[in-house]
A = this chain, B = another copy of it.
Amino acid sequence: MESLSNRMTTLNSMSTASTTAPSDAASSPIDMHDLLAPVLEEMKLVEEWLTTNLIDESPFVGELLNQIFQAGGKRIRPLVTLLASKASLTDPAVDQVHSEISRLHIILAVLTELIHSASLVHDDVIDASSTRRGQETVNKKFNDKLAVLLGDLLFAQASICLARIMNPVVVGIYGQVLGDLCSGEISQMRQQFSTVVDWDAYFQKSIKKTASLIAAGAHSGAILNARPNEVVAALKVYGEKLGLCFQIVDDVLDFTGTTEATGKPVGGDLRGGLITAPALYILEAGGAPAVTLAKLIKDRQVQTDEGVAEALELIRSNGGVEAALALAARIGEEAKAALSILPDSPSKASLIGLVDYVLVRNK
């Protein structure tokens, strides 16, 4: 029981964050405790499953899983998956068909988080990152080799979960998500240090690297619930828009966040040549700021402390952050609008509230 209570730590701290962390509450008018309420019991089961060794009997694998999931994480993906599953349980047209979240929905939420965690562990190797969630990354703390193995292990756990769901359509959706994650990573690598303003490339990369997985979680529950195509499609749109919103805010946090809050070095994206929405707005606007920023990027000055500080200041002082946040807000409204097809429910209300939570998050 002690190990189980340890596993609960993340969830408990998450659900009480707004009351125990005034600084967080001050910056976020959305209470995560309220958002979690409709699926609180189910989220506890998700935490338990995440560290359940499905691969073999070795305690070593269980230990590795514990280490990864006790490092924390926002658990946005399983939350979206469970809320969307619950919000699509009833079909107003034919009265109430289902009334409970099943074991399959829990597994769906778990595998969505497993894939996310696996891709983070491998991304940290690919990007040679040294901190994540305020802790040393696996590749930094140990080495690339263990990080490769751990990522593979998480993907394997996800595959075993996926097999247990026994739904070929859902298998297809997640198969494509794995492809999108790789494809998004490749696009990102190929766009490094490019100063061409290509919004389509930015959105495509963001959808593949982030939104595709969130969208999979958001609409696969409705597929398991045998909901009509238009309900499934609406939840997919919700997930994609929420995911894009999440990614844009993440990109903004590279400019406005503190290492203390985000657990990542400020300006890290820019240093790595990753040109995101705030910078794209400045480059698109033209004039002296665009010319200076393009030069800082092209000459790789953003890889130095002085260069990155200059670029960050330039983008901040010319409204790049505000423009990116306004973009995220517009996409967030589209995410909410997609939910109009669903009957009102506490879960639907949480899905709407989650958009606002994502928009104002500071970590």
A binding-site residues for B, Cβ under 8 Å: 54-56, 58, 60-61, 122, 125-128, 144-145, 148-149, 151-153, 155-157, 159-164, 166-168, 171-172, 174-176, 178-183, 185-187, 190, 208
Cβ-defined contact, B156 with A159, below 8 A: no
Closest Cβ–Cβ distance, residue A190 to chain B (whole Å): 7
Determine the chain B residues whose CB is within 8 A of the CB of A122 once the complex forms. Answer: 148-149, 152
Cβ-defined contact, A183 with B148, below 8 A: no
Q: A54-B179, A56-B179, A168-B168 are in contact. Are A159 and B186 (CB under 8 A)?
A: no
Given the complex of chains A and B, what is the CA–CA distance between A159 and B156 in angstroms? 11
Determine the chain B residues whose CB is within 8 A of the CB of A153 once the complex forms. Answer: 179, 182, 186
Q: A125-B145, A126-B149 are in contact. Are A157 and B179 (CB under 8 A)?
A: yes
Given the complex of chains A and B, what is the CA–CA distance between A155 and B125 in angstroms? 17
Cβ-defined contact, A149 with B185, below 8 A: yes
Q: A125-B148, A126-B149, A152-B122 are in contact. Are A171 and B163 (CB under 8 A)?
A: yes
Q: A182-B156, A183-B55 are in contact. Are A175 and B163 (CB under 8 A)?
A: yes
User: Which 9 A-B residue pairs are closest in the complex by CB-CB distance?
Assistant: A55-B179, A163-B175, A156-B178, A163-B172, A159-B175, A166-B168, A160-B175, A56-B183, A156-B179
Determine the chain B residues whose CB is within 8 A of the CB of A208 once the complex forms. Answer: 56
Q: A171-B171, A182-B55 are in contact. Are A160 and B148 (CB under 8 A)?
A: no
Of A125, A167, A179, A208, chain B has the most CB atoms within 10 Å of the CB of A179
